[in-house]
Amino acid sequence: MEGTRESREHLFSSFNKCAMYESGEVVYNANSKAQTAYLVKKGMVKLYSIGAKGNKQIVRMVPEGEIIGYYSQFTNEPEITGCECLVNTVLCELSEHSLQEAFKTDSSLALSMLRKACTEIKETCASIMDLSQKTVRGRAANILVKQMELFNVEEGHNFPIRITRSDMASWIGTSKESVSRSLNDFVREGLIQMDRDTIKITNLKGLKRVSIVS
């Protein structure tokens, strides 16, 4: 949440329970009633929904500094998504009472969360359009561009966190094999460079063009 670093730091300092979660560990399940919201103090988590066949569909990745698990706190309904750690992650708990009190006493934080919710709605609408109208190639290109924004890296620099082919496939609604084929195509076309552990975008303009026209 841009412009709220001081607010987040204030919240972090008020927590009395922060814990390390391991990569792959589930923080809370989809359709469960979360008893607490969380601040991602360090690391990254992925939010996912469960399809009719029980398959996980990644909705979005959440970096440090973001609040998750707050849907239940405001609606008194089960969480729409589940949460799993992408890497080893430090999460700080924030009870329903503490979250509501923080919003009452910090108007800038409340406004920032409202903006965040609006942004998530916009991103959800865009994702629906991508899944329904873009080819796998276009979706794969788009998800790489999104990762640049997520990690705040520049063209020609490695992504600091490796997102697996399986997670990328779940994120864009396709198979791991289709993602791998698209990535290999992008390498041959000089759009990206990659090895077993890293990916970097070397032609952002070209990759964006693919994400738009494919």
pLDDT by residue (tens digit) across 113-137? 778 778 877 777 777 777 767 899 9
- Percent of all residues in the chain with a pLDDT value above 90, rounded to a whole number: 39
C-alpha span between 40 and 128 (Å, rounded): 26
Q: Confidence class of residue 1 from pLDDT cuts 50, 70 and 90?
A: very low
Cα–chain center distance at 168: 11
- Are the beta carbons of 14 and 98 closer than 8 angstroms? yes
Helices (H) and strands (E) in the chain, counts: 8, 10
- Provide the whole-model pTM: 0.79
First vs last C-alpha separation in the chain: 31
The dihedral over CA atoms of 23, 198, 59, 108, expressed in degrees to the nearest 10, equals: 80
pLDDT digit string (tens) for 30-65?
888 777 888 898 999 999 988 777 788 898 899 988
